[in-house]
Amino acid sequence: MIPVLKWTSTLFILFGIFLTNLNIYPANILIHGVGAVGWTIAGFKMKEKAIVVNFGLQLPLFVIGYGNLVFH
């Protein structure tokens, strides 16, 4: 289960980065955000603090981006 979550999340993150490079907004933050959530969950399940810190700290940034979509 965890390897599938990790690979799927990685693909979401890479595709989100690709969309950012193409300047395709807001799909880039939506897709990258899904990958960050997946990696945060995987980090919790694996008890890997570095992964949780890395991707967990990205989540508030994505929430700000989502708020920008809704309120602007």
Distance CA 70, CA 68 (A): 6
> What DSSP character marks residue 26?
T
Distance CA 70, CA 15 (A): 23
Task: Kindly report the pTM of this predicted structure.
Answer: 0.90
Tokens of 18: 């690709």
pLDDT in tens, the chain (72 residues): 899 999 999 999 999 999 999 999 899 999 999 999 999 999 999 999 999 999 999 999 999 989 998 998
